[in-house]
């Protein structure tokens, strides 16, 4: 099948450089009208400039596409609302949102100022929340929406010096999991991308020969897979250097311990069974965990009658 975005309107945040730039250009090549959002700050979030976003718009227009630039700071809801209003005024719909904007303030937790923790959370988490909130009712009314969160292996698995970034990148997965349930009836599909790429965010963390393998285009192929008409839903896609994989959260089947026996000692005595992955499963919602445990409890009660 050929993936096309003809007739679709996409907003890509942090699209002046790196991954966002790559996402915006490829969406445009495949027919989408694109809002190139970029505050134009440094990778630590300082400063602002519209030059990078305007350059991406010019490149899209040169290829015959349609695009506008907007410098909204995603951490400020009023600026995001203005961006979405301009999009609606120009094109009348929003089909795709790629929450890509991000910053780094790396330090070990012992040395980290809490202001640096808060700022990273504001940009990555509240930035994704603000942009999603601003388009949510639009997508519900048109009964169509595709949203991509940007997560990270730093959140899912940890990375030294990135408690703030890791916490933020796990938070957007929790956000996604519930949005999926709330958006299902209106064909709003939400997925997450975990990229590994050579960008401004990583340029001084890796040697040039490695950076050359980590081209943003490989990640963009994954991003567009998550936001076309036949996109999956609630998938975490990991992409980088030509590698593609999915990450999933599984829960073991676990055990039941009767009320009169419940103690740390009893849990430890059954620890191997608690952690046994043989019958693990992916739960559709938090309620499914409660349902599983209550089913075990009721089965025990019935066995005692």
CATH assignment of the domain containing 42: 3.40.50.720
Catalytic annotation, residues: 165
Q: Is 240 in the same domain as 296?
A: no
Query: Which of 247, 267, 288 is the endpoint of a domain?
Result: 247
Q: Is 107 in the same domain as 169?
A: yes
- Give 230's pLDDT tier (boundaries 50, 70, 90): very high
Which of helix, strand or coil describes residue 59? Answer: helix
What pLDDT score does 116 carry? 97
Better-predicted residue by pLDDT, 206 or 268: 268
Contact 107, 204 (CB under 8 A): no
Contact 52, 58 (CB under 8 A): no
Residue 254 belongs to some domain of the structure = no
Angle between helices 114-121 and 163-183 (to 10 degrees): 30
Q: How far apart are CA 61 and CA 105, in angstroms?
A: 34
**Eight-state DSSP code of residue 124:** I
Partners of 91 in beta bridges: none
Q: Domain of 208?
A: 9-247
pLDDT higher than threshold 90 for residue 145: yes
Residue 14 belongs to some domain of the structure = yes
- Nearest Cα neighbor of 119 from 104, 141, 130, 108 is 104
Q: Is 148 in the same domain as 281?
A: no
Sheet with 243-247, strands from edge to edge, namely 67-70, 33-37, 9-12, 96-99, 145-150, 188-195, 236-240, 243-247
pLDDT higher than threshold 80 for residue 273: yes
Q: Is 35 in the same domain as 127?
A: yes
Six token digits for residue 305: 């009658």
Residue 105 belongs to some domain of the structure = yes
Contact 232, 189 (CB under 8 A): yes
Contact 153, 243 (CB under 8 A): no
Residue 183 belongs to some domain of the structure = yes
**In the chain, how many domains are there?**
2
Q: Which residues contact 199 (CB under 8 A, 6 or more apart)?
A: 17, 18, 19, 216
- Nearest Cα neighbor of 90 from 5, 175, 9 is 9
- Give 198's pLDDT tier (boundaries 50, 70, 90): low
Q: Which helix (H) or strand (E) holds 194?
A: strand 188-195
| Mean pLDDT (whole number) for 147-156 | 97
Q: Is 151 in the same domain as 294?
A: no
pLDDT in tens, 69-127: 999 999 999 999 999 999 999 999 999 999 999 999 999 999 999 999 999 999 999 99
């Amino acid at each position: 099948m050929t993936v096309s975005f003809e007739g679709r309107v996409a907003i890509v945040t942090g699209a002046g450089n790196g991954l966002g730039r790559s996402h915006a250009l490829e969406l445009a090549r495949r027919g989408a009208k694109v809002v190139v959002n970029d505050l134009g700050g440094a990778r630590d979030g300082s400063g602002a400039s519209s030059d990078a976003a305007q350059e991406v718009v010019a490149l899209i227009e040169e290829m015959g596409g349609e695009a506008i630039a907007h410098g909204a700071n995603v951490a400020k809801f009023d600026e995001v609302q203005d961006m979405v209003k301009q999009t609606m005024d120009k094109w009348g719909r929003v089909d795709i949102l790629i929450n890509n904007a991000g910053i780094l303030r790396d330090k070990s937790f012992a040395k980290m100022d809490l202001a640096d923790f808060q700022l990273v959370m504001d940009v990555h988490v509240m930035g994704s929340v603000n942009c999603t909130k601003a388009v949510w009712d639009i997508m519900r009314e048109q009964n169509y929406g595709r949203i991509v969160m940007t997560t990270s292996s730093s959140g899912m698995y940890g990375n030294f010096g990135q408690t703030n970034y890791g916490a933020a990148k796990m938070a957007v997965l929790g956000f996604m999991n519930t949005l999926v349930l709330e958006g299902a009836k209106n064909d709003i599909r939400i997925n997450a991308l975990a990229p590994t790429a050579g960008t401004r965010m990583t340029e001084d963390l890796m040697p040039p020969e490695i950076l050359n393998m980590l081209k943003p285009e490989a990640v963009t192929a994954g991003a567009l897979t998550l936001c076309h008409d036949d996109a999956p839903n609630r998938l975490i896609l990991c992409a980088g250097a030509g590698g593609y994989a999915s990450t999933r959260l599984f829960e073991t089947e676990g055990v039941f311990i009767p009320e009169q026996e419940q103690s740390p000692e009893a849990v430890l005595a059954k620890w191997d069974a608690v952690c046994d992955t043989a019958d693990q499963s992916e739960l559709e919602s938090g309620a499914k965990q409660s349902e599983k445990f209550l089913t075990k409890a009721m089965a025990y009660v019935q066995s005692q009658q």
